[in-house]
Amino acid sequence: RDFSTIAKDLPLCRAECEPSRAEPAAMVLKSRRTKAESGTTQEIRDLKVKAGVIKRILSDLAVCDTEISKQAAKVEAMKAEGADSYDIKKQEEVLTEFSSSRPADEDRLAKAVEDLEKTVEEVRESPDFDDLKETEEFKAAAALLDEQLAAAAQ
């Protein structure tokens, strides 16, 4: 027999081999959501990841701010010392690069906060997630979200 006839005889998926083990996708999602107390649910991982993304972007913004201030001080010092105009121009270009990356980081932060906000609201509003609401991960994510929303309102 050639390979094409062997392939035709093989079952296409596990469901064909064991029909009793096949579950509809909705049942898989529902069973995953009812295991919130196990600590290994997808929702807890999602909350951790989304909160971690926000923390990382905040860290990036803080580093960017310090680099901008250092570079601005360097440019001013070079001007005060009467350094070569070419060197000053190059350092001003570096400062412009640092400054131009900040809006992109702010946009990333806004999107990450919006994403976390949707997830937290879904958890708060759904009775399926009552156990998840009591976890430390959810409380930390909700606190971080409230912090960011308060900072954005100012």
Across 25-40, average pLDDT: 45
Residue 100: partners with Cβ closer than 8 Å, 6 or more residues away: none
- Tell me the per-residue pLDDT of 77-92, one tens digit each, with 9 for 90 and over: 999 998 899 999 999 9
- Tell me the per-residue pLDDT of 122-132, one tens digit each, with 9 for 90 and over: 888 888 888 88
Is residue 115 pLDDT above 50, yes or no? yes
pLDDT (0 to 100) of residue 72: 94
Contact between 101 and 60 (Cβ < 8 Å): no
State the burial class of residue 123 (Cβ atoms within 10 Å of its Cβ: 0-12, 13-18, 19+): buried
Of residues 53, 66, 50, 63, the one with CA closest to residue 138: 50
pLDDT (0 to 100) of residue 4: 52
Instruction: Give 39's pLDDT tier (boundaries 50, 70, 90).
Output: very low
Q: How far is CA 143 from CA 55, 118, 119, 126, 150, in A?
A: 12, 14, 13, 19, 11
Is residue 12 pLDDT above 60, yes or no? no
- Tell me the per-residue pLDDT of 97-113, one tens digit each, with 9 for 90 and over: 989 989 999 999 999 99
Contact between 92 and 75 (Cβ < 8 Å): yes
pLDDT (0 to 100) of residue 24: 45
Q: What are phi and psi of 150, to 5 degrees?
A: -70, -40
